Amino acid sequence: MKTYRLWLCTTFILLSLIITSVSLAHTQDCLDGCSSSEAYGLPADDILAYVPPDFTRVPVDYTLMNDRRYMRVNGVMEVFDAPNGNYVRVQDAGFNFVTALGEQDGWVRINANEWVRKDILEDSNAVVSSFSGVFLNGEFPKYPVAWSLINVYPSKQPGGSPAESNGLVRRYTMLHIYSSVMIDGWEWYQIGVDKWVNQTHVGKVAPLDRPAEIDTDRWISIDLFEQVVIVFEGDKPIFATLIASGLPQWQTREGMYHIYFRKTRDDMTGGVVGDDYYLIEEVPWTMYFDEGRALHGAYWHDGFGFRRSHGCVNLSISDAHWLYQWVAEGFENFISHNVEEGGPAVWVYHSAPYR
């Protein structure tokens, strides 16, 4: 009897080793070139059968985007009261932008009775972003959506090399995430049949339940990990878009806040002269929620999906305009005359650890 049991045990082990070897060989074959849907993620038939929701983008208003002539200041800016007129003041060098109100004989008027030489200014309207977010129709989709943050060729399998045969996915393309696989501490997202991208290459609209701290019906979530804003009415997500929040040395602080002051245009300045000093005139659609930190439009870059600010939350001008109007619906005035109470809650958080 003992001999028979030993024979059965040995036979079982041998069969297990054979089955494991066959399974590993099949997996390796898939890694070497067969359809990754045979080994990972959602089957190809399910992906092809899926009908994505019909998301509507926030309209891109090019007139609104270019209703000012934005100009970057190169170096120190001396200001005069007229072309070749009297000296008024000097503006320190830094990350500085002004808006031009007129031009005459090589001079640019930047404010009432303030003129500067044109040769220190550089037109920057070309960098105004035409990106805009989408309306979510009151619910998160079956499969999460995301935007590509770079131009990328998806890999054939998670962790693989970019495959040009998969076609180029251009920056700001909206994607659907059908499944994910963790490799070396990073998630790889399945965005199509045999198409995978690293999570660092996308900004995902990560589904979020209403936090207990939220005390207003209308509220805004700011996901610092994904660099995504989601706007809610009650428990229903109605809008999502990419943002650019504070850099590590000037963080957008986590926590619960409220929008308490709004201006359609506001000048912003800060930092240390000779280091990180900045002066940006007429920042559009500004909504303050945490001391000097605000949600606002940004005309000086097109880097949404990446942290790059001094603590504020940058949006494209189209998105900031829509959000400003949505916030203003809850107030009697389109702009704030004083600090306001009862503004939408703003929930700032990380959906995952820093990347």
- pTM of the entire structure? 0.88
Task: Give residue 29's pLDDT.
Answer: 38
**Reduced to 3 states, what is the DSSP secondary structure of residue 215?**
coil
The continuous run of DSSP H or E covering 19 comes out as helix 2-31
pLDDT digits (tens), the chain, 355 positions:
333 333 333 333 333 333 333 333 333 334 444 455 557 899 999 999 999 999 999 999 999 999 999 999 999 999 999 999 999 999 999 999 999 999 999 999 999 999 999 999 999 999 999 999 999 999 999 999 999 999 999 999 999 999 999 999 999 999 999 999 999 999 999 999 999 999 999 999 999 999 999 999 999 999 999 999 999 999 999 999 999 999 999 999 999 999 999 999 999 999 999 999 999 999 999 999 999 999 999 999 999 999 999 999 999 999 999 999 999 998 888 999 999 999 999 999 999 865 4
Residues in CB range of 24: below 8 A, 6 or more apart? none
Task: Give residue 354's pLDDT.
Answer: 52
Nearest-angstrom CA–CA distance, 151 and 320? 25
Task: Give residue 2's pLDDT.
Answer: 33
Burial of 87 (0-12, 13-18, 19+ CB in 10 A): exposed
Contact 308, 181 (CB under 8 A): no
Joined tokens for residue 87: 């000296």
The sign of the torsion formed by the CA atoms of 353, 290, 71, 325 equals positive
Task: Give residue 330's pLDDT.
Answer: 87
Closest by CA position to 346, among listed 229, 200, 236, 189: 229
Contact 115, 88 (CB under 8 A): no
- Residue-by-residue DSSP string for 235-301: TEEEEEEE-B-B-GGGPPPPEEEE--EEEEEEEEEES-TTTT-EEEEEEEEEEEEETTEEEEE-SS-
Residue 77 DSSP class: E
Nearest-angstrom CA–CA distance, 146 and 47? 16
